[in-house]
Chain A
Amino acid sequence: MSWQVEVDGETCIGSGMCAAIAEEHFQLVDGVSRPLRTETEPDDDVVDAAESCPVEAIRVRDAQSGRTLAPEP
């Protein structure tokens, strides 16, 4: 099982919350967060980052089914 991680660069305000929570998954580039890998092994830090983003710019999906795993609907 693997996850897809997306950051909506238009929505992102560069708060750096995700990079602080999951530094192995997100990096701020020119003030906007980017996932270091678009596909990753399941990791709770990624879910925490998506749930904690102040503008919900991060979406985590199941790579196979496309189902949204975080943020919680």
Chain B
Amino acid sequence: MTKEEFNPKILGFLCNWCCYAAADAAGVSRYQYPPNLRTIRVMCTGRIDPSFILQGFAEGAAGIFTGG
């Protein structure tokens, strides 16, 4: 499968204190990663209601990433 064909939409929920901070740190260190992720910052992954995940898939997410 070539890169052009597979271009998934990924929805991410990032914990403010760890994963969101890590994503900032990745930027500061200029690490490069594919631009397929769209993120929602939460104050803790504990905030993620299971329905958010289902809603994400219903809205067309190919995958959902939770970082916490």
Q: Note whether A and B form a binding pair.
A: no
